[in-house]
Structure formats: structure tokens, C-alpha cells
Amino acid sequence: MEFFERFAIPHPSAPIYASMVAIGLTVIAIVAGLTYFKKWGYLWREWLTTVDHKRIGIMYLISALLMLFRGGVDAIMMRSQTAIPENTLLDAQHYNEVFTTHGIVMIIFMAMPFIYALMNFVVPLQIGARDVAFPRLNALSFWLFFMGAMLFNISFVIGGSPDAGWTAYFPLAGNEFSTSVGTNYYALALQIAGLGTLMSGINFIVTILKMRAPGITLMKMPMFTWSALTANVIVVFAFPVLTVALIMMTMDRLFGTHFFATTNGGMDMLWANLFWVWGHPEVYILILPAFGVYSEVISTFARRNLYGYKSMVASMVGISFLSFLVWTHHFFTMGQGALTNSIFSVTTMAIAIPTGIKIFNWLFTMWKGKIEFTVPMLYAVGFIPIFTIGGVTGVMLAMASADYQYHNTMFLVAHFHYTIIPGVVFAMIAGLTYWWPKMFGFMLNERIGKWAFWFIAISFNVTFFPMFFTGLDGQARRMYTYSEATGFGPLNMLSFIGALGLAVGFALIAYNVYYSTRYASRNISADPWDARTLEWATQSPVPAYNFAITPQANSSEAFWDAKKKGHELFKGEVQKIHMPSNSGVPFIMSCIFFIWGFSFVFSLWIPAILATIGIFICMAQRSFERDPGYYISVKEIKETESKLRGA
Amino acid sequence: MKWNWAILSSIFTIITVLTGCNNKLMVLDPKGPQAQTQADVIMISIWTMSIIVAAVFILLVIMLVKYRASKQPADYEPPHIEGSKLVESICIGIPVIIVIFLSVITIQSNEQVETTPKGYEGQKPLVVYASSSDWKWHFSYPEENIETVNYLYIPTDRPLEFKLYSYGPITSFWIPQLGGQKYAMSDMVNTLHLAADVPGEYMGRNANFSGKGFAENTFDVKAMPQDEFEKWVEEVKATAKPLTQEKFDELLDPGHLGRLTYTGTHLDFSPAPEGENGEHHMMPSHTEHSAMAE
Ligand code: HEM
Ligand SMILES: [Cu+2]
């Protein structure tokens, strides 16, 4: 009995029990459904073992949408609790768990897979490649991310959620003050997902540097690919810091070391530094691919080439460099003194300059254009003013003396939502809508999409704009309640109403997916938006081999040139195509990683050791396996092509 | 589509009116020199940033209105434009100037908020050790040799030097109307320089999340003229009980307490941490006082 006690949740409540039941029922339903429809084989062959970047992209996408839902429910719970003073919907402990989970889910398990969904799907197509450089590693990246996410998500029903904030500052996150296993979940789940991300980083850098089709020099890459390159370079430099910091955290919590725990010479400030040395670059990992999406979308729907290509590239490179020089701005108030603060104030403000260049370049891309307000374009156009507010408030926060007043308040919360939501979430919806026909061979309904956009754009401002004011009025962040006398009530109520509006907006997007899947015409061209880059030169949906003939590029808009200037994209004859074969090992290995993580969370040493051995066996298997891949014959390619073209 | 933008802008107006009318925002209603500096920096940055915001909004509206497809002839083919050195230089140049301007202001004000407030330099500061424990604030007045819990009395027109540290998670000591916050940590002492110009009652709190009792981790601040403050100290000395080590350990237990008052301070038996962090760990100069008191 004692053994099982550790799995109980320390602070149970009715909604948690209800969730347990719901999770149980869902799992049963899925298993039963798969068995009844005899889909196990299909699932295994086509998805669990796939190494195709497009399918992996789609799996990232589904995971991201699920996590968006989870994080969104958390958000609604928080805004409901704070909608009125002295509310008792959630108690303090529960509220702490909810905002901690919300932060991690949204950043690590929603935004990250979303950008990797688009990068996976689009980057190889934009550079005319057959797949990423290491397809099987790519599958492993996805499954590690997925298992990390699952491990994190079971925390609230087995053992308890983390509750020390997504920043998990020590000593609060140490054993002394966080006694439940929640923070172990944090350390292990982020570790597993982070390993996957690091592998993706390497994979995409190699892919972009090594696998470009003829003619695509670095300065002729589409802007989204450039953004993916810079983001992945940041990943490779930043994520090892997280890996090490999490190992140290795990050691502190499980093996009694004192890296961060403040007794016996541990340093709480070391954690804060390591966390933000990763954490600040992380926010730029998220924003750069979003910038890439906007560059594609704005240029497509303004019907013009991107203005200032070179300065766009230079500014991204500049941002990725600067993003490593600013981390201290997250704790100006830690007492490092005026000189240090001033240095980091200046470096932080400096980031606004390349960011500003990009904004102006997008504006000038619309100049003399012929702007069409499709759904992706609406998000891009909505992004510009909203993100500008996020950026300028960032500059305000960067002034250390003033940050003493903004820090830890709702003002800060408003700032980062004004950057992340238009920056990342809008961009991902825009990219999703834009590339949807390439992914699935039909378009999302424009009318529902526009309704969703207006709901989201307006509700977003209703939700977050008031926070600038409550922050300046002294409302600290992460407060589960406040008294009526503070006067925060009305504006928090407004935020709550906005949050409901956002929920409606996202529900409309979900409905749009359902509606369009059922009713949208499958009879669309491969290039429904009249776009400019190479991914639109192949069929929709994209065949497994991407391009029957490797395209030849002459500019960053080779497809546009092919349409308008007679550039010849596909020269030569169809030849047989070499493809990597599927493998179940990445999935199996990641399952073992899940067990490994779970065992560590609960200090179950025997399974942990066995799982470690299992992981090494999987690695050995890969080392000794001979996998020559397979060929798709010319005949088969021709058949596929004519079928898709005829459709 | 125009009405949508109309809704959007009316929302901004409504929010501004909702908050602007009835009361002044705390941070922008300073009652001391440091908070005043910070409010000034905030207002300068808001005005400066409005230039950028206005430029972007205006350009955006012009582009959207002028170059929308419905306004163009059907056969209009947008030109290919590479970019222009001049335009891009302007787009870099103006932000650079703005950033330089704000940097100068930041560097000056960073220095100001980290030193004795302007105009208070010659005076002897009141030193208060402010330490947090789950989820309370302990204020030790070494020179006066008294200690309070969850409330802070201070004299006006005199520099205040807070020595911050924590018995537990990182917290952040914040009295918005007197000045910005600073962390209290368990392995070093931070110094925060404040002062109050105006007598009155202010809100003080821990701004940094520190666990279950965080939301209620607040304290009351009352600023009063020096003579009144001295009277209060005398009164405490005459009426309050001494703070023993035992009692103090009890106070440290996690939970919430109301206002408490003691003579003596915990600094004698539980001194502030001595970190390795530069200038912030001078040993308190109060030892001889407390020795006298005993
Ligand atoms: C012009 C560019 C930007 C500047 C100057 C800037 C500046 C800052 C500063 C100084 C802080 C710390 C404030 C404090 O804790 O008191 C901060 C926090 C934050 N920023 Fe930004 N920022 C910028 C852009 C962005 C972008 C693009 C993102 C995300 C995509 C972002 C996400 C965040 C997040 C998540 C936090 C707070 C994290 C936390 O404490 O939980 N920022 N920013
Ligand atoms: Cu940052």
C-alpha cells in the first residue's frame, strides 16, 4: 500500500477526479475504436513508424492543437478565478498548479511543436529537398517531444502538478518548499522534450545547409527557411544550457546535491541565470519562425516580392546573436547593481532595432502591392499593430530603473502576451491556414476563418490591454485572489470577458476544421493562393517523395518566376527516387524514455535502470542496423503524378 | 471591415476611461523621490514609444487603404522592388536615435534608484532590515531596537535603507508608491534605497511568487513626520514584549500573522546572511545598540 501512496495527488479536488475519469474513458474509447475499426496496423505503418517529414509535421500539428486546448482551459480557469475579488473557484494551491502548467504547456508543448510542425512540413519543400537530413532522427525528435508532453500532462492526475511557476525558481522549486513530485515532472518532462528539440535543431541546420536544390544559394532561400535556420541555430546554442540546468535540478531534488538549494553553499541565483540564458533565446526561437511565416504571407497576399530581403536576413541574424546577451533583464531586481543593469538595459533595447527593421520592411512590402485580405493575411495585418505594442512595452521593461516597478506585475504579463500571441499564435494560425491546402488538399473556409480572426483579435485586446493598467496599479502577477479594496475587480472582469471571446474564436477555428473537412472542395489547384515559393510547385497533397524532379531555382521566389518570367523549374526526366525506410525504433525508444522519466519522477530505481539499459539497446540497434532504404520506381512516380494532376 | 477597427479603437478608449477616471494608478502616483524618478522614466518612455506606435499605425493604415486589391485595376501587376538603402537607413537610424536617447535616461536613472535619493544625500538614513518568511514580513529597526511583523512605520523626509533578505523562497519587497521592488533572498542581503515625501498609508507587498500564501503576503506602510515616528518608537519600547529566539522561530513557521510588535530585533540571534555578493553584506552597525539594550 505504501508503494502506491506516492501516486496519489496531494491536493485532490472534484475537477481533478472528473479529469481522471475523462482521461480513462478517452483512452478506453481510443483503444476500442482502433480495435473495432481494425486501425492498429494503419496507425503503426503510416504514423507511428513514419519518417516522412510531412507526416511528422502533421503529428506535431495535432499535438500542438491538443496542447493549445489544454493550455486554453487552464487560462480560462485562471481568468475565471480572478474575474471577481475574493473568488473561491480555485484555492491558492490549485491556482498555482494551473498557472505553472499553463506557462509550460503553452511555451514548451504548444508553441514549440507548432513551429516545428510548420518547419517540418514546409522547410524541405521550400528548398526542394526529399526530406530532412536525418529522417529517422526527426522521428525520434518528435516522439521524444511527444512523450515529454505526455509525461508532463499526466502529472495532475498521478502524483500532482508542478506548482513553482514555469520559471521554477529555487529555493521554491527545491525539496524544502516543493514537496510533491510535481517539480520532478517539470525537470524530467522538459528534459525529454528538450532532447528532442536539440536533435531537431541539429537536423534542420544540416538540412538547410546541405540539402538545398540547385540554384538555392543561402541568399536565395525563402524567408521562412531563413527564419528556421536562425531559430535552429539558437536552439543548438540555448538548449544545452537547459539540459544541464535540468540535470542539476534533478540532482538537487533526487540525490541531495546543492547546486541551487540554498543550504550548504547552493546558489538560487545560479538557477535564475541558467534558466534565462536558455529562456530568453527561447522566446526568440518562437518568434523567428513566426516572422518567417509573416514574410511569406505578406509577400504572397500583397502580390509583391519581400521588401529588403537582405536587411530581413541581417536582422534575424542580429536578433539571434543579441538574444544571448540580454538574459539578465529578467531579474534586474536581483541586486546586481546599476552598472550591470545598465549594460543589459542597453543590449535589450538594441534588440528592438532589428525587430523594428522587420516591421518596416513588412509595411513596405505592402507598398504598391495589391493586398488581398485572406485569412492568413488578416492575421499578418493584425499582428503588426499588436506586436508593435508588445515590442514597445518590451523597450519600456528594458529600462531597468522602471522595470523595478513593472517586474512581477500584470504589466509584464501584458507585455509578453502582446508579443507571444500576435507573434507566435497568430503566425501559427496564419501559417496553418496558408499551408493547409498543401497539407490536406483542401482549403479552410474563409468566412468562418474571418469570423474567428475578428473574435480572436478583438478579444485578445480586451483580455490583455487592461493588464497594463492593473499592473501599473500594483497588481502582482500569479496572485490567486485580491481584495475588493484594491479596485482591480472591474478590469479583471473585462479580462475574463475577453478570455471567453478568445475561447469562442478558437472554437470557431476548431469548427472550421470540422466544417471544411466535410464540405470543402477537394478539387483545388496545387497553388490555390497564387503563391511564390517552391512548396507550391508540387502537388497537393504532397506525394511522399515531394518533387518528382528536383527543382532548379534562380531566386528566392523561384515558383513565381516560373509562373511569370518563364523560369524553367523542372529540367530533365523523372528518375527512380531513393527514400528512407520507416522505423519503429524512434517510437519504442521514446516510450522507454517515458518509462525512464516516470521512474525518475517517483524515484523507482529498478525500472529507471532497466529503462536506461533499454535506451542504450535502442541506440545500439541503430548503430548495427543496415538500412539501405528503398526506391520508388519511375512508373510509380508517373502514376502518382498523373493521378494527383488529374484530381 | 472598417467597423471592426472602430470596435478595436473604442475598446482602447473604454479601458483608458475605466481606469483613468476614478483613481490614479499607483505606480504613476508617487509619494517619494525614487517612485517619482521611476514614474518620470515611465512617462518619458511612453511618450517616446508613442512616436513609434503612431508611425507604424499610420503607415499600416496608409498601406491597407491605398493598396488594397479592391482599389486597384484588375490587371495591375505590383512591381518588383528590392529595397532602398535610403529608406532602410531611415528605418534603422530613427530607432537607433530613440534607443540612444532612452539608454541615456536609463543609465542615469539606474544610478539614481540604486543610491540615496536626490536631495537626501547629507542625511543619516533610517536602516530597516526587511526579511520575509512564508508568508510574512519582519521589519527590524536595529538603531531603534524594535521589530514589527507585517507593518512598517517610517519617517518622512529621511532616506530609508532597506536591507532585504529571506527565510525561504525568493521574495520581492515592493512599495509601489515609494519605489520599485527588489529581491529578498536567503543567501545574501540586498539594499534598497527609498524615501517618502508625503505622510500617508501605502500598500506594500511581496511581488515575487513564493508559494501558497503569496497572494496575502502584504504589509501596511505608514509614513509620518520624524517626531511622530519617534513617539511611536518610544511607545513600542514602553509597551511591546521582547522578541526572544524561541518566539522568533515560532514566527517563522509557514502561515499568516497579523500585525505584531516587539522590542529587540532578531538580528542578534539570527543575523542577516553574509553573501559573497559585493557591497551588499556589510555587517549591521547596530550590535552595540542591542548590546546596550540587553
Ligand atoms: C522588442 C523586443 C523585446 C524586448 C525589448 C523585451 C523585453 C523584455 C523584458 C525586459 C522582460 C523582463 C521583464 C521583467 O521580468 O520585469 C521581458 C519578459 C518577457 N518577454 Fe519580452 N521583450 C521583447 C520581445 C519579446 C518577444 C518577441 C517575446 C516572445 C515571443 C517575449 C517574451 C517574453 C516573455 C515570455 C517574458 C516573461 C517571462 C516571465 O517572466 O515569465 N518578449 N521582455
Ligand atoms: Cu527576455
- Residue B167 falls inside a structural domain: yes
- Residue A70 pLDDT grade (very low, low, confident, very high; cuts 50, 70, 90): very high
Please check whether residue B4 lies inside any domain of the structure: no
Contact residues on chain A for B27, CB-CB shorter than 8 A: 405, 472-474
- Distance CA(A556)–CA(A221), nearest Å, equals 5
A151 grid coordinates: 509525461
pLDDT, position B4: 55
Q: Per-residue pLDDT tens for A321-353?
A: 999 999 999 999 999 999 999 999 999 999 999
Angle at B214 between CA A262 and CA B240, to 5 degrees: 90
Query: What is the distance in A from the centroid of ligand 2 to the CA of A71?
Result: 22
| Alpha-carbon span A187 to A245, nearest angstrom | 9
Contact call for residues A402 and B48 (beta carbons, < 8 A) = no
SS (HEC) of A377-405: HHHHHHHHHHHHHHHHHHHHHHCHHHHHH
Tell me if B107 is assigned to some domain.
no
pLDDT, mean of residues A525-542: 91
> Helix/strand/coil (H, E, C) string of A118-151?
HHHHHHHHHCCCCCCCCHHHHHHHHHHHHHHHHH
Cα separation of A41 and A45, whole Å? 6
In this predicted structure, what is the pLDDT of residue A20? 82
A21 has a pLDDT exceeding 90? no
* d(C-alpha A287, C-alpha A421), whole Å: 10
Q: What's the pLDDT at B109?
A: 96
Residue among B75, B1, B82 at smallest CA distance from A370: B75
For A430, the grid coordinates are: 496564419
A338·B114 Cβ contact <8 A: yes
Ramachandran area for residue B155 (φ above 0: left; ψ -120 to 50: alpha; else beta): beta
CA-based nearest residue to A545, from A43, A47, A54, A46: A54
Between CA A65 and CA A68 the distance in angstroms is: 5
Q: Which chain B residue lies closest to A349 (C-alpha atoms)?
A: B99
Assigned domain for B243 exists: yes
Write out residues 128-167 of A within 8 Å (CB-CB) of B: 163-165
Residue A61 pLDDT greater than 90, yes or no: yes
Select from A348, A397, A404, A477 the residue to mutate for testing ligand 1; criterion: most ligand atoms less than 8 Å from CB: A397
Is there a contact between B212 and A367 if contact means CB atoms under 8 Å apart?
A: no
3-state secondary structure of B184: strand
Percentages helix, strand, coil for chain A (3-state, rounded to 5) are: 70, 0, 30
What residues of chain B score a pLDDT lower than 70? 1-23, 275-294
The DSSP secondary-structure symbol of A48 reads I
Of B99, B49, B97, residue with least CA distance to A388: B49
Cα separation, A385 vs A380, in Å, equals 10
**Interface size between A and B, measured as CB pairs under 8 A:** 297
* One-letter identity of residue A361: N
Average pLDDT, chain A: 93
Is B182 within 8 Å of B190 (Cβ atoms)?
Answer: yes
Residue B198 covered by a domain: yes
- Mutation target for A interface from B185, B202, B219, B221: give the one with most A CBs within 10 A: B185
Q: Do B207 and A407 touch (CB under 8 A)?
A: yes
Distance CA A538, CA A316 (A): 28
Ligand nearest to the CA of A167: 1
Pocket of ligand 1 (CB under 6 A): A 167, 283, 286-287, 329-330, 348, 351-352, 355, 391, 394-395, 397-398, 403, 406-407, 412, 415-416, 419-420, 423-424
Residue A446 CA to residue A508 CA, distance in Å, equals 12
Q: Is the pLDDT of residue A529 over 60?
A: yes
Prior bond of B142 cis (ω within 30°): no
With respect to residue B48, please indicate whether it lies within any of the assigned structural domains.
Answer: no
Closest CA to A509 of A565, A426, A621, A589: A426
Treating both helix axes as pointing N-terminal to C-terminal, what angle do B85-113 and B33-66 enclose, rounded to 10 degrees?
160
| Residue B142 domain boundaries | 126-270+283-293
Closest Cα to residue B161, out of B185, B135, B140, B177? B140
Neighbours of B77 (CB within 10 A): 11
Q: What is the pLDDT at residue A595?
A: 97
Q: How far is the CA of A412 from the centre of ligand 1 (A)?
A: 8
State what percent of residues in chain A have pLDDT above 70. 99
pTM, two decimals, is 0.93
Asked if B67 and A369 count as a contact pair (C-beta separation under 8 A), the reply is yes
Confidence (pLDDT) at A4: 80
Q: Tell whether B166 is covered by a domain.
A: yes
d(CA A318, CA A276): 19
Ligand 1 midpoint to CA A503 (Å): 24
Instruction: Work out the average pLDDT over A546-573.
Output: 88
Q: Structurally, how many domains does chain B consist of?
A: 1
- Establish if B93 belongs to a structural domain: no
Q: So what's the pLDDT on residue B275?
A: 58
| Nearest CA owner, ligand 1 atom 15 | A330
User: The domain spanning residue B176 has which CATH number?
Assistant: 2.60.40.420
pLDDT in tens, B171-200: 999 999 999 999 999 989 999 999 999 999
pLDDT, tens digit (0-9, with 9 covering 90-100), for A264-289: 778 999 999 999 999 999 999 999 99
ipTM of this complex prediction, to 2 decimal places:
0.91
State how far the Cα of B229 lies from the Cα of A68, in Å rounded to an integer: 55
Q: Whose CA is nearest to atom 42 of ligand 1?
A: A416
Instruction: Round to whole Å and give the CA distance between A112 and B214.
Output: 30
**What HEC string does B126-159 produce?**
EEEEEEEECCEEEEEECCCCEEEECEEEEECCCC
CA distance B234 to chain A (A): 32
